[in-house]
Amino acid sequence: MAVAARAVSPPRPKRRGIWLTLTRLARHPSAVTGAVVVVAIALLAVFATQIAPFDPGASRLENRLAPPSWMPDGSPAHWLGTDGLGRDVWSRIIHGSRVSLLVGVTATVMSLIPGLVLGLAAGFFRGPTDGLISRFAELLMAFPHLIFAIGVMAALGPGFWNLVMALAFKGWVEFYRVARGDTLSQGTREYVDAARALGASSSRILGRHILPNMIHTSVVLGTLRMGHFIVLEASL
């Protein structure tokens, strides 16, 4: 019995598999181009203070609505022009990317963790646990995300963490649905039955067997939802 159970144990993630995945991605020009763009935007956000040629909040009314300019002598120029208060648009974009990326990453992580945990619990234990969490998730899905976030912001007030909470309070629902579906699918596999036959606890089955084989879908969803959170943050 033990021999048969070990024979159907799930494949464990290996560093070699990760390296092969990166090697395959490096062969696709579109993947390389996307990676370069993402890294460039991240570096702009991290080193915004050193890269921005002007103070993003400094206004000069004599330069309001100036067109894009380039100084031949190498002095700072308004590459994208100025806004209605004379502030440099390029500097404001660079500093704004820092806030947008921080909100997007934080809201994604705060949505991913509870959605993943609740999805694992609902898909594995089922019964009343699944019914209670699913009904609450369906209730939140009845509200459009932007309108729901506006209502939460009106109740909590302005602020960085209030904005993140407003986005994540409903954002976990999609991660929950994906994690629940993957858990239901993985729970019927032979390796889960083998782990139960060997006396493995529920927490060990979830953490050592099911989670490593379904986390990739939630991570892919997180990369997609991050952009959605940034758009919502800009709308708010």
Please give the pLDDT value at position 62. Answer: 84
Alpha-carbon span 85 to 63, nearest angstrom: 8
Tens of pLDDT, residue by residue over 170-183, are: 999 999 999 999 99
Tens of pLDDT, residue by residue over 24-33, are: 777 888 878 8
Angle subtended at Cα 208 by Cα 206 and Cα 211, rounded to the nearest 5 degrees: 55
Domains detected in the chain: 96-235 (1.10.3720.10)
Is residue 137 pLDDT above 60, yes or no?
Answer: yes
Alpha-carbon span 218 to 228, nearest angstrom: 15
Is residue 113 pLDDT above 90, yes or no?
Answer: yes
